[in-house]
Amino acid sequence: MTAPVFVVEQVPGGPEFVLEGPEGRHAVSVKRLRAGEDVVLTDGRGHWTEGTVLAAEGKDRLVVAELTGIREEPLPAPRITVVQALPKGDRGEVAVETMTETGVDTIVPWQAARCITQWKGDRGLKSLAKWRNTAREAGKQSRRVRFPDVADAMTTKQVAALLVTADFAAVLHEDRGHDSEPLATVPLPDRGEIVLVVGPEGGVSPDELALFADAGARTCRLGASVLRTSTAGTAATALLLGRTGRWS
């Protein structure tokens, strides 16, 4: 198994570093790391270093030695952004967690017309914070050193403006009465930005589809079965990562 990942504000250049606070507590009291075990320290923005535990002190201090120097993971190409309509309950965090584990680069919460969930005021801020914390924890769990960005929630017009700038944009829409292309075979760019829109439980409205089409988005389908909004983004991300060679 690869070494566990812990987040630091700034990746240390070495040769020794003390991991403290919540991350140190997690390493010592939850993971129960001991001398001789390997760890990875990252800022979640692509910078990282690897070292060996020298000692675990108290309940929240992990002394890491033999740091290998600061490394940087190259930016992914192409980058994959999923615009995720707000699901009900905790399904939003489920979607963020599994998309992060799969390898998505950016997640955009979207207040679609048919969303039952509404992000307003303090509730919206708390929900966004949950999504961002979920992405961070899932990034650590899946041993990533570049965590996905979770953007501020967007309106439909803002999503359309994002689609205009993409090198490839598509809306997942499973409707036998609406023409769509299979995402498995649609031509994709080798670099740049891929933006995929995942609608709510009630589907993308005709007005939204028209606006997104005007912005240059294609209408695509994943397959014969219709997935929940909380799982469609993960399945599509996996498909795109495979097709673009990022999963090899």
Beta carbons of 11 and 42 less than 8 angstroms apart: yes
Query: What's residue 226's pLDDT?
Result: 73
- Is the pLDDT at 169 greater than 90? The verdict is yes
pLDDT over threshold 70, residue 16 = yes
pLDDT tens per residue, range 173-221: 876 566 889 999 999 999 999 999 999 988 999 999 999 999 999 999 9
Q: What is the pLDDT of residues 66-109, one digit of tens each?
A: 999 999 999 999 999 999 999 998 999 999 999 999 999 999 99
Q: What pLDDT is stored for residue 164 in this prediction?
A: 98
Is it the case that residue 167 has pLDDT exceeding 70?
yes
Would you state the pLDDT for residue 173? 86
- Give the C-alpha separation, 10 to 54, whole Å: 20
pLDDT tens profile 107-139: 999 999 999 999 999 999 999 999 999 999 999
Contacts for 146 with CB less than 8 Å, ≥ 6 apart: 44, 45, 46, 73, 76, 105, 139
Q: Whole-angstrom Cα distance, residue 149 to residue 18?
A: 27
List 54's β-bridge partners, or say none. none
pLDDT band (50, 70, 90) for residue 14: confident
pLDDT at 125: 95
How many CB atoms sit inside 10 A of residue 182's CB? 11
Indicate whether 22 pLDDT > 90: yes
Over residues 10-34, the mean pLDDT reads: 95
Q: Which of 124, 80, 93, 125 is closest to 229 using CA atoms?
A: 93
Q: How far apart are CA 240 and CA 222, in angstroms?
A: 11
Residue 16: both structure tokens together? 């020794």
Please give the Cα distance from 232 to 199 (Å, whole number): 9
Write the pLDDT tens digit of every residue in 131-164.
999 999 999 999 999 999 999 999 999 999 999 9
Q: Residue 40: name the closest of 133, 131, 141 by CA.
A: 141
Partners of 195 in beta bridges? 81, 169
Examine the pLDDT at 247 and tell me if it is beyond 90: no
Average pLDDT, the chain: 94
The secondary structure of residue 27, as a DSSP letter, is I
Whole-prediction pTM: 0.93
Cα separation of 196 and 218, whole Å? 9
Contact call for residues 56 and 50 (beta carbons, < 8 A): no
